[in-house]
Amino acid sequence: MKKLLLSVVTLLTLSFSLQAQDYGPIEWDIVRFGYVIPSGDGATGGIALGTEVRYNVNNNISAGLRAEFAIFGSELEGDGVDVGAVGSYSLIGDYYFQTESNTRAFAGFGIGTFGGASVTVTDASGDETEISGDGSIGVIPRVGYELGFLRLTGEYNLLFAENSSNYIGIHLAFTIGGRR
């Protein structure tokens, strides 16, 4: 019992000593809205919606979790609809270049799992229906800028599965916590 108590006290002490000295420890992008541009022939842009929570380890480094859902389309010959969707859960780390204010630039990197779905529907002339989905591991290099409670991020989602579509995302998020 004494060892357990000592371990808990040690972990609490370390967590308080590791948190950012000048910024709040928890930062949460409640809602992230984005525009996504998938790679591939005939792919068209779409939208993304997500959330992200981060722990400010110190003034320059944060670590967090991101959940996102993106939906986009592609051009078909004639009448028809082709829609792709990607859901992801990722571990993210950011490095902040400025530490004197609530407006600061950052660069980050993440790794996570991506689950995809594709739907193809063609009108009466082609009578084509296709539904498929693939899962993949992917990486997310990104850059961005915080403007107080707003956060602008540009990301490249690189998926490793053979039939997966990589995509660029430009996001605007509304953030609570984590400010100086």
Q: What is the pLDDT of residues 70-82, one digit of tens each?
A: 988 766 565 566 7
Domain annotation covers residue 3: no
Tokens of 85: 């969707």
What is the span of the domain harbouring residue 124? 20-177
Domain annotation covers residue 69: yes
Domain annotation covers residue 95: yes
Q: Which residues of 47-77 are buried (b: 16+ CB within 10 A; e: fewer)?
A: ebebebbbbbbebbbbebebebebebbbebe
Number of compact structural domains in the chain: 1
pTM attached to this predicted model:
0.78
Q: What is the pLDDT of residues 87-127, one digit of tens each?
A: 999 999 999 998 888 899 999 999 999 987 766 656 556 66
